Amino acid sequence: MEKLVALLVDEEAARILNLGKQTLRNWRVARKGPPYIKMGGSIRYRLDDLLQYQNEKRINPERAETV
């Protein structure tokens, strides 16, 4: 049995990612950004998904490729 996970509204998710709510909305329309859950007309985010998304966007300058 999976444990219950607290879900965050887009305002909370935007604050965690240091983005505007509209940015998250635009990303959903463009099918990019962090994973989200849609229940009826409500959008929710899992904290683990936000942190993983943030981690995936991390750039290590010592390992960055040069073009």
Predicted pLDDT at 64:
67
pLDDT at 63: 79
Identify the pLDDT of residue 32.
95
Can you spell out the DSSP letters for the chain?
Answer: -PPP--EE-HHHHHHHHT--HHHHHHHHHTT-SS--EEETTEEEEEHHHHHHHHHHT---TTTPPP-
Residue 1 belongs to a domain: no
- In which domain, by residue range, is 33 found? 17-56
**Structural domains of the chain, count:** 1
| Residue 65 counted as domain residue | no
Q: What is the mean pLDDT of each run of 10 residues along the chain (67 residues)?
A: 86 96 96 95 96 93 70
Asked whether residue 61 is assigned to any structural domain, the reply reads no
Predicted confidence at residue 62, as pLDDT, reads: 85
Q: Is 9 a domain residue?
A: no
Residue 11, domain member (yes or no)? no
| pTM exceeds 0.85, yes or no | no
Residue 36 counted as domain residue: yes
